[in-house]
Amino acid sequence: MSRFPRVTRRRAVTAAVVLVLLAAATVWAVLPERAAWTAQDLRITVRSGPGGDEPVELDARFLLPRDRSGKVPAVLLAHGFGGTKASVSSDAESLAERGYAVLTWTARGFGKSTGEIHLDSPDYEVKDAQRLLDWLAARPEVQTDATGDPRVGVVGGSYGGALALLLAGQDQRVDAIVPSITWNDLSHAFLPQSASTDATGVFKKGWAGVFFGGSAGGDNPACGRFAADVCATYLSMATTGVPDATSLALLRRSSPATVLDKIKAPTLLIQGAVDTLFPLSEADANAKGIAAAGTPVKVAWFTGGHDGGAGPGNDQDRVKFLTVQWLDHYLQGKGSTPSGDFTFSRVAGFSALDRDLVTNGYSTKAYPGLTGTGAADLALTGSAQPIANPPNGNPAAISALPGLGSRLSSLLSGNVATDVPGQHATFDTAPLTGAIEVAGSPTVRLRAASPTGEAVLFVKLYDLDQNGSPTLSAGLVAPVRLTGLPKDIAAAQPVTVTLPAIVRQLEPGHTLQVVVATSDQGFLTPVAPATYTVAIDGQLTLPTLVGTAIASPATLWWYALGALIVALLLGLTVLLLVRRARSRRRVTSVTAEYADTPLVVLGLRKAYDDGFVAVEEIGFTVERGQVVGLLGPNGAGKTTTLRVLMGLTKPTVGEIYVFGHRLVPGAQILSRVGALVEGPGFLPHLTGAQNLRAYWEATGRPWADARFEEALEIAGLGTSVHRRTKNYSHGMRQRLAIAQAMLGLPELLVLDEPTDGLDPPQIAEMRRVLQRYATDGRAVLVSSHLLAEVEQTCTHAVVVNKGRIVASGPVDDIVGESPSVAIEVTDVPAATEILSGLGVRSVTPDGASGLIVDMNGTPRAELVASLVRAGVGVDRVVPRRRLEDAFLALVGDNSRGSGDR
């Protein structure tokens, strides 16, 4: 498991505290140019099991802030299911840079750690983590509250999030926890029951298969490295669909629900609204259980989850800021107690590149749960209808599959009928007369009749636009198992069905449709065919919630209060229409001076309401045929500049032109720009080619325009593009991300750290990829901290320091003459002797076939000619790290520390 449509923006006046949330995004996102931490890879042997005497060896990594003074608090950082310590490496480094000692490890049964998987069992995985707390308490660098008691927070997503909750409930040494996208009760998560009955839930076979199919190795080919009792539980439920008492007890054993009343560590619960595995109801149950014990608890929802969602440059910024704010207060004593405000978000369309979902964030004074702060009751029409249960659940309706969610239709072919004719009933509302802000779990009252006395049904809520096109929010479905049913629908008693919580703005003119189906690809359904009759009584109830919008200070937001008189609302509406019309005119107009220039940045400044200035003043140009490197120390403003360029945030002052079009979020001209900013993200169960096709189809452009084969050839992916991305190395994921950015061969390519995580041969190939791309009038802007690669790859460079440009122009001009060169030769001893006789200052070995030569004024051509005349082959001659020298001369040893944005 991984961790971590369109609606109209509401313009709103925002609270100052929320401004800090978005302003702090860059603190987390920007990687340090020079590591502000040290890291040590370890093998830690711990003893756990029921008797505490079974050894397991954990593959771990321990990070410390480089410039710490005295002892520091620690963070135990857990990964998601199927991951390893490497899965959370970037988060570990960011936390270490922020002043924490960070211990991350590969859980038992995964990666290089030994042992079997017990699904976060208190006797195994939780005891493993307790022994890691012991290990931290013994470290001289870690702050302690008492002997053997480290000052420690636990952070984790999904599998790691449940571990954080279970550990806090089992060990009172934990001082704060931040669990995300995790479960409350595994028996409910894998056997959900959405009706107000006592019947057993419906087995979630799709996600369960991902769990058990994703554990390779071990002696049992059916269950990989799972413990025997866990394997037996899965096989039993997957076969019958109904758990026995032993299976339920095992699932409950690994459920935070069993320890919520024992958790004393302040808890920040983060849950995703795009999650068919662990929906918002799981966090809601955790929050209620922890709050009932009097423990401080805060809840945040974001537009992501196990089924994807907004990219890290959007809603994740808010989530990550809340995380460090929570840890800083409860572990370091920084800042006042985090407010009890509840923050949430909803999807507000697509970014200008159609790459990442754009989200709008909101806050309210208190967490409302899943019932909202209000309700909208909508009448449903439709008589009782017969629906057929297919034999063996085939064919089955397709609502959501693991990891795909509501994007499923476009990923498959774009025209898949998700509900099978004859197997579903529909009940519609009238067209909406106004917008409805839904945040929580809708409810309906369902009646059903069955000749067998039982039925398994799947209830869904579709949003139909004016053209009748349906959208199933996040692919969420309410499974219902009913027993004791009459044969005649007239005798059926209504049951209340609670649908999964959604966060969505419903548009005026749209129609809502409740669908009741007999099968679903993600769940196990009865084998025997049968025909049921279903009816909906009365109405659909939607929980509503209106929050204060979260925005950056560069955006003018207006909040239309419901209590204002109609005349004022009308005047405001007219004003907004005029502003939008002007904005459209600005977007479509072209500045002739820049019409043929890929990128022009003029007087860019980005300041935040708390006084922080991320970018003071930046201006540069990227011409056709250029590969331009954007360089600067940590906090110099590089990432902020790229975020403005991608429409992820707005500048306070300044303008950006792309081929003469002034850039605003959503500008059409950005279809001529390809980008990789803040890391790649792909669906693991699709091949590289399928991921690329899904991305392109989501843009709505014809497949022929993707120029798929050309992009693949430039990126150099070869046959690997037909492998599933879950089997990709980090380097292959980077190359696939580059290929995605290159689809359609956009005229301007913007890349943030494209060589991140690549090995030397891959870096060399990426160098050739970028140089090949900047041909035929195309251009590349690349941000990188690898100065030697920029020197060998880029034609031009822009050096930024403290939010200002300190140098720009051709790389050769910035570098100047080099006093030394790196030479690769076929005979090092002979070359050393020859060069030493030419009057050079020094000759120093550099690897197996290299030499560093301080030329002392000797022309480079004379060095090469002398070697060739003596029969020594010369493979390569380049200036030695001269861009690094020039860079340091321009910016010094500057860093603005962890407070940068």
Instruction: Please say whether the beta carbons of 642 and 752 come within 8 A.
Output: yes
DSSP annotation string for 482-521: E-S--SSGGGPPPEEEEPPPEEEEEPTT-EEEEEEES--T
Q: Is the pLDDT of residue 15 over 70?
A: no
Tell me how many helices (H) and strands (E) the chain has. 23, 39
Instruction: Please say whether the beta carbons of 650 and 557 come within 8 A.
Output: no
DSSP annotation string for 788-803: HHHHHH-SEEEEEETT
User: What is the distance between the alpha carbons of residues 394 and 836, in angstroms, rounded to a whole number?
Assistant: 80
Calculate the alpha carbon distances from 64 to 94, 129, 136 in Å.
11, 19, 12
Tokens 């709103």 — which residue? 12
For residues 162 and 308, membership in a common domain is answered with: yes
10 falls within a domain: no
For residues 131 and 231, membership in a common domain is answered with: no
Instruction: Please say whether the beta carbons of 379 and 429 come within 8 A.
Output: yes
Torsion (CA) 308, 314, 318, 324 in degrees, nearest 10: 80
pLDDT per residue as tens digits for the range 772-808: 888 778 899 988 777 777 777 888 888 888 888 888 8
pLDDT for residue 605: 87
User: What is the distance between the alpha carbons of residues 630 and 136, in angstroms, rounded to a whole number?
Assistant: 40
Q: Is the pLDDT of residue 73 over 80?
A: yes
Tell me whether strands 478-482 and 37-48 are parallel, antiparallel or unpaired. Answer: unpaired
Provide the residue type at 695 as one letter. Y
Task: Report pTM.
Answer: 0.61
* 112-141: average pLDDT: 96
User: What is the distance between the alpha carbons of residues 128 and 183, in angstroms, rounded to a whole number?
Assistant: 20
Instruction: Please say whether the beta carbons of 603 and 617 come within 8 A.
Output: yes
User: What is the distance between the alpha carbons of residues 250 and 239, in angstroms, rounded to a whole number?
Assistant: 17
pLDDT per residue as tens digits for the range 299-354: 999 988 888 754 434 467 788 889 999 999 999 999 888 888 899 988 765 443 33
pLDDT for residue 417: 40
pLDDT for residue 313: 41
The number of angstroms, rounded, from the C-alpha of 98 to the middle of its chain's C-alpha atoms is 21
618 falls within a domain: yes
For residues 427 and 533, membership in a common domain is answered with: yes
Strands across the sheet with 101-105, in order?
Answer: 37-48, 54-65, 101-105, 74-78, 152-157, 176-180, 267-272, 297-302, 342-350, 357-364, 548-550
For residues 582 and 663, membership in a common domain is answered with: no
The number of angstroms, rounded, from the C-alpha of 816 to the middle of its chain's C-alpha atoms is 42
Tokens 């509503």 — which residue? 544
* 552-570: average pLDDT: 33
Q: Which of 765, 792, 814 is the last residue before a domain boundary? A: 814
Instruction: Please say whether the beta carbons of 309 and 357 come within 8 A.
Output: yes
Instruction: Please say whether the beta carbons of 132 and 44 come within 8 A.
Output: yes
Q: What is the CATH number of the domain that holds 827?
A: 3.30.70
Q: Is the pLDDT of residue 680 over 70?
A: no
User: What is the distance between the alpha carbons of residues 884 and 901, in angstroms, rounded to a whole number?
Assistant: 24
DSSP annotation string for 188-242: HHSS---BSS-S-----HHHHHHHHHT---SSBTTTBTB-HHHHHHHHHHHHHSS
For residues 848 and 781, membership in a common domain is answered with: no
User: What is the distance between the alpha carbons of residues 831 and 851, in angstroms, rounded to a whole number?
Assistant: 9
898 falls within a domain: no
For residues 233 and 310, membership in a common domain is answered with: no
Counting the structural domains of the chain, the total is: 6
Structure tokens at 679: 């890391």
pLDDT for residue 345: 86
User: What is the distance between the alpha carbons of residues 353 and 79, in angstroms, rounded to a whole number?
Assistant: 31
The three state secondary structure string of 630-677 is EECCCCCCHHHHHHHHCCCCCCCEEEEEECCEECCCCCHHHHHEEEEC
For residues 409 and 556, membership in a common domain is answered with: no
* 755-783: average pLDDT: 79
pLDDT for residue 610: 62
Instruction: Please say whether the beta carbons of 199 and 482 come within 8 A.
Output: yes
507 falls within a domain: yes
Q: Which of 315, 340, 365 is the last residue before a domain boundary? A: 340
Calculate the alpha carbon distances from 90 to 155, 341, 580, 622 in Å.
13, 28, 40, 30
User: What is the distance between the alpha carbons of residues 5 and 357, in angstroms, rounded to a whole number?
Assistant: 10
For residues 806 and 823, membership in a common domain is answered with: no
Tell me whether strands 267-272 and 443-449 are parallel, antiparallel or unpaired. Answer: unpaired
Q: Which of 768, 797, 814 is the last residue before a domain boundary? A: 814
For residues 700 and 649, membership in a common domain is answered with: yes
pLDDT category, 895, cuts 50, 70, 90?
very low
What b/e sequence results for 475-511 when a residue is b if at least 16 CB atoms lie within 10 Å of its CB, and e otherwise? bbbbbbbbeebbeebeebeebebbbbbbbbbbbeebb
Q: Is the pLDDT of residue 14 over 90?
A: no
pLDDT for residue 489: 95
For residues 230 and 322, membership in a common domain is answered with: no
Widest CA span in the chain: 106
DSSP annotation string for 42-73: EEEEEEESTTS-EEEEEEEEEEEETT--S-B-
Give percent above pLDDT 90 in the chain: 41
pLDDT for residue 858: 80
pLDDT category, 414, cuts 50, 70, 90?
very low
751 falls within a domain: yes
For residues 211 and 312, membership in a common domain is answered with: no
Closest Cα partner for 518 from 579, 468, 455, 472?
Answer: 455
Provide the residue type at 848 as one letter. A
3-state class of 786 per DSSP? coil
Q: Is the pLDDT of residue 876 over 80?
A: no
Give percent above pLDDT 70 in the chain: 81
User: What is the distance between the alpha carbons of residues 161 and 656, in angstroms, rounded to a whole number?
Assistant: 41
157 falls within a domain: yes
349 falls within a domain: no
pLDDT category, 818, cuts 50, 70, 90?
low
Residue 762 phi/psi, 5-degree rounding, is -70, -35
498 falls within a domain: yes
For residues 173 and 209, membership in a common domain is answered with: no
pLDDT category, 609, cuts 50, 70, 90?
low
Tokens 């369309």 — which residue? 349
pLDDT for residue 294: 94
User: What is the distance between the alpha carbons of residues 507 and 617, in angstroms, rounded to a whole number?
Assistant: 40
Q: What is the CATH number of the domain that holds 97?
A: 3.40.50.1820
Could you tell me the residue range of the domain that residue 517 belongs to? 374-544
**Could you report how far apart the first and last alpha carbons of the chain are, in Å?**
29
Tell me whether strands 385-389 and 627-631 are parallel, antiparallel or unpaired. Answer: unpaired
Q: Is the pLDDT of residue 218 over 70?
A: no
